[in-house]
């Protein structure tokens, strides 16, 4: 069974289309209009071994906030839809990813409880064409819309390295958590 989903979101600010395959090979076609965000999502896709297509038309003449927010909302909803009933998934996983002087740690639970606990600070206002304040906002919006729990922490000196390590750690943790390991719903409630 291929776990695939497509979600779209259209507002006065953005138009976003996401196609995801949780059982992919790390293939991607990503065009958000923000080159650094594209780079992070490409890294996320490759390390998560998902197949991902994202197309965005956003109000980048205003700033990057609406595009980053709506991409994370739509990606989260597509991720949730692709998980379906979650039968057989590992459910919980974590990853620790170094990138030069930076170290990111991410733990996830796909149990249906939308929550994020984030410990990340950045020295620069921007990395490439995105505002660093939107990195935690991306993580929060993704967790809320995927209905998953994310704990993420990163330390380091170089903000590019810190952000990239976070996206890689999130991808690796999710790749492990979505893995089919058995034929049960992994919850004492019998439902996720």
Give, for all 192 residues of the chain, the pLDDT tens digit: 789 999 999 999 999 999 999 999 999 999 999 999 999 999 999 999 999 999 999 999 999 999 999 999 999 999 999 999 999 999 999 999 999 999 999 999 999 999 999 999 999 999 999 999 999 999 999 999 999 999 999 999 999 999 999 999 999 999 999 999 999 988 888 888
Residue 96 covered by a domain: yes
pLDDT of residue 189: 82
Q: Report which of 141, 143, 48, 132 is spatially closest to residue 95, judged by C-alpha positions.
A: 48
CATH of the domain at 149: 3.30.230.40
Predicted pLDDT of residue 162: 98
**Is residue 173 in some structural domain?**
yes
What pLDDT score does 192 carry? 83
Q: In this structure, are residues 146 and 177 in contact, taking their beta carbons and an 8 Å threshold?
A: no
For the full predicted model, state whether its pTM sits above 0.75: yes
- Rounded Cα gap, residues 37 and 160, in angstroms: 11
Q: pLDDT value at position 133?
A: 98
Rounded to an integer, what distance in angstroms lies between the CA atom of residue 88 and that of residue 181?
Answer: 6
Domain count across the chain: 1
At 17, is the secondary structure helix, strand, or coil? strand
Q: Measured at the alpha carbon of residue 71, what is the angle toward residues 172 and 28, in degrees to the nearest 5?
A: 55
In a domain, 42, yes or no: yes
Query: What is the rounded distance in angstroms from the CA atom of residue 3 to the CA atom of residue 81?
Result: 9
- Is 191 among the domain residues? no
Query: Parallel, antiparallel, or unpaired: how do β-strands 102-109 and 115-119 relate?
Result: unpaired
Answer whether residue 28 is part of any domain. Answer: yes
Question: Closest by alpha carbon to 120, among 130, 106, 108?
Answer: 106
In a domain, 187, yes or no: no
DSSP secondary structure, 96-164, as one string: EEEETTEEEEEEEE-SS--EEEEE---SSSEETTEETTHHHHHHHHHHHHHT-EEEEEEE-S-HHHHHH
Helix axes 159-177, 134-146, angle to 10 degrees: 10
- Four-point Cα dihedral 8, 9, 12, 14, nearest 10: -80
pLDDT recorded at residue 190: 81
Assigned domain for 185 exists: no
Rounded CA separation 119/20 (Å): 28
For residue 154, the model assigns a pLDDT of 98
The reported pLDDT for the residue numbered 26 is 97
Which residue range is the domain that position 51 belongs to? 4-177
Within a domain: residue 146?
yes
User: What is the number of alpha carbons within 13 Å of residue 65 lying toward its C-beta?
Assistant: 4
């Amino acid at each position: 069974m291929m776990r695939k989903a497509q979600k779209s979101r259209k507002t006065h600010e953005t138009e976003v289309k996401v196609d995801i395959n949780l059982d992919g090979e790390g293939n991607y076609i990503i065009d958000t209009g923000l080159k650094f965000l594209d780079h992070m999502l490409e890294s996320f896709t490759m390390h998560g071994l998902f197949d991902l297509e994202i197309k965005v038309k956003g109000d980048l003449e205003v700033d990057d906030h609406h595009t980053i927010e709506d991409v994370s909302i739509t990606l989260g909803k597509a991720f949730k839809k692709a998980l379906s009933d979650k039968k057989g998934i590992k459910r919980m996983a974590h990853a620790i990813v170094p990138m030069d002087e930076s170290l990111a740690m991410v733990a996830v639970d796909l149990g249906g409880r939308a929550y994020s606990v984030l410990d990340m600070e950045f020295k620069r206002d921007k990395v490439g064409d995105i505002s660093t304040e939107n990195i935690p906002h991306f993580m929060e919006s993704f967790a809320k819309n995927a209905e998953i729990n994310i704990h993420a922490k990163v330390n380091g000196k170089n903000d590019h390295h810190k952000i990239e390590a976070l996206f890689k750690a999130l991808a690796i943790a999710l790749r492990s958590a979505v893995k089919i390991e058995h034929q049960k719903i992994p919850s004492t409630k019998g439902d996720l």
